[in-house]
Amino acid sequence: MRAKSILLVAISIALLCSCSVKKPIVPITSNFSADIRIEYEDLNCGGNIEFVNFSDFTVNITSPETLNGLKVDVNADKIDAEYKGLNCTNLYDFSSISMFLNAMKNIDITADFEYDNGKIIIDGCKIDIDEKGFIKQIEFDEYDLKIYLSNHNKI
């Protein structure tokens, strides 16, 4: 009887402790490719992203047809775009790609974040991260901009 009481108390303590602890965020995974969908006001476009790290990634747009072939390359703070032979270098504006870059730069990978169900809120930006550290969604409420990533593959 005494052994059962001790076991019951030990289980109760373990359950109480585990319920009150928030999980630290897993590091955001680098070196992956994924499908990307960008929704900005009435514009919806899709394609793929090769994400090396926070400041080194490439987005290739495949839809809608009018933007098919648009390639945006981010390296450090430099954003270059290429479309049907037209090259633009050193772009930086309030485009969805520059806002994505800013959101990534705002995440201090050395910080100990706490989150609830994989959501981080930083400077009006909500970032959803799955249990493997893959970015699933970034939402900028002020700008009616949403970026979705899916079908992640390590590269």
User: In degrees to the nearest 10, what's the CA dihedral of 23, 104, 152, 113?
Assistant: 0
Q: What is the pLDDT of residue 101?
A: 67
- Range with the lowest mean pLDDT among 30-34, 47-51, 61-65, 130-134? 130-134
Domains in the chain: ranges and CATH: 25-154 (2.50.20.10)
Instruction: State the DSSP code for 53.
Output: E
Does residue 21 sit in helix, strand or coil? coil
Contact 89, 112 (CB under 8 A): no
Residue where the block lists tokens 């450090």: 76
Rounded to an integer, the average pLDDT of 91-104 is 66
- Residue 40 confidence class, pLDDT cut points 50, 70, 90: confident
Tell me, what DSSP letter sits at residue 114?
Answer: B
pLDDT at position 89 over 50: yes
pTM of the model: 0.72
Phi, psi of 88 (to 5 degrees): -125, 130
Report the pLDDT value the prediction gives residue 7, as an integer from 0 to 100.
40
pLDDT, mean of residues 83-109: 70
Tokens representing 33?
Answer: 């490719």
Of 15-19, 48-52, 68-72, 114-118, the least confident: 15-19
CA distance 149 to 92: 22
| Percent of the chain topping pLDDT 70 | 65
| pLDDT at residue 68 is higher than 50 | yes
How far apart are alpha carbons 36 and 39 in whole angstroms? 10
Alpha helix (H) ranges present in 21-131? 96-106
DSSP conformation letters of 104-133: HHHS-TTS--B-BTTEEEETTEEEEE-TTS
Report helix, strand or coil for 117.
coil
